[in-house]
Amino acid sequence: MAKQKIIVLGGGMIGSAIAADLVNDYDVYVSDIDEERLNAIRKHHPVKIIPADLSSEKSIKNIVTGFDLVIGAVPGYMGFKTLKSVIEAKKNIVDISFFPEDPFELDELAVKNNVTAIVDCGIAPGFSSIVLGYHSTLMKIKNYECYVGGLPAEPDNPYKYKAPFSPSDVIEEYTRPVKNVIDGNIVVKEALTECEIMEFEYAGKLEAFNTDGLRTLLTTMKIPDMKEKTLRYPGHIEIIKVLKECGFFEKDLIVLDGWEYRVVDLTSAVLFPHWKLDEREKEFTVLKLIIESEDKRITLNLFDKYDDQTNTTSMARTTGYTCTAVSRLVLNNIYTKKGISPPEYVGMGTDCYEFANNYLKSKKINVKLIEENLS
């Protein structure tokens, strides 16, 4: 029997990790505008490649024809339009792009086109929401906290940070207003605020601060108190606050030598060589979830580091393998809900939660779950 066909849209760090994880079981294609990047993936893995401009709606619709599943791994600013094009092409999709738009705007279209579209399917949001969705079926949750970060093993540059993805996506985290839930009400706060130092078993002391990561949980979960914070080495945020206050993250246009630029785009270009991980540079991902009811507390701790054997970053592993686990659920007709599905919907099925959890563990990603009675 012929293998099912998968097309990965986007051949970056995470898209290539996704393709590599699926290629032994499926007929995998990767599409990207960068042919050099595609050839690098094909050099190491038996994938097929399709060079294409993924900013084109027509191009995407032509590319995805004939595939059993589409995986969206494009940059966040392209994510929503890409998702819409795939749904219009009537193809199931699992998407990891962190786009600012509301995915539920496409729910009616997805249902109409009989499409299963799973969004935000990375580490957090993603695996974090799968865990929350599962436990929401077992207890009445009153408090949810998520702490997550990806960091270099050695914070040896002035910023005490390097990014496993584009600086522009990181800057978006630092500038977008934060929506938390307090006493059942959505409360808007400024990003980078309410900093606190936390201790982690493998990572040591890290600084946690407000970022806008609850996303679909704001509407899908009726939990009185919810917050999400990003983790960095202590001192990083003070540097970022100076840049922000000086206007380096503004989206206004400036003119230089007759050319127009957005200030934030210039900042991203300047930061990129400083924040780019060196080849085979060691880094790690840390995730801590706290889920509480009146009488029980669930604490999940996840830690993963760079894989020397496969030369895969921890961020690509934790994000990509969450995506490939859920992709297998869709391809095997275990998860079949039509319309837009955030990861918490996936986690509400016990078999789906257990599969995703066990899949990460099978990849030697360190996941520990602790239950405490509070009564």
Residue 77: the pLDDT is 87
Distance CA 122, CA 105 (A): 20
Residue 200: the pLDDT is 95
- Per-residue b/e over 33-51, b at no fewer than 16 CB within 10 Å? eeeebbeebeeebebebbe
Residue 2: the pLDDT is 85
Closest CA to 215 of 319, 120, 137: 120
Confidence of residue 172 (pLDDT cuts 50, 70, 90): confident
Beta bridge partners, 70, equal 7, 93
pLDDT at residue 169 is higher than 90: no
Distance CA 127, CA 121 (A): 7
- Full-prediction pTM beyond 0.85? yes
Kindly report, residue by residue over 240-292, the tens digit of the pLDDT: 999 999 999 999 898 888 899 899 999 999 998 888 888 889 999 999 999 99
Return the sign of the alpha-carbon dihedral for residues 345, 208, 210, 175.
negative
Helix crossing, 127-136 with 314-331: angle to 10°? 50
Residue ranges and CATH numbers for the domains of the chain are 5-124+316-365 (3.40.50.720), 127-305 (3.30.360.10)
Answer for the pair 157, 232: CB distance below 8 angstroms, yes or no: no
Distance CA 33, CA 356 (A): 31
Mean pLDDT of the residues in the chain: 95
Residue ranges of alpha helices (H) inside the chain are: 13-22, 35-44, 57-63, 76-88, 107-112, 127-136, 167-175, 217-220, 236-245, 263-275, 314-331, 343-347, 350-362
pLDDT at residue 132 is higher than 80: yes
pLDDT at residue 182 is higher than 90: yes
Closest CA to 305 of 156, 167, 200, 202: 202
Kindly report, residue by residue over 321-365, the tens digit of the pLDDT: 999 999 999 999 999 999 999 999 999 999 999 999 999 999 999
Kindly report, residue by residue over 84-99, the tens digit of the pLDDT: 999 999 999 999 998 8
Beta bridge partners, 288, equal 147, 301
Kindly report, residue by residue over 311-324, the tens digit of the pLDDT: 999 999 999 999 99
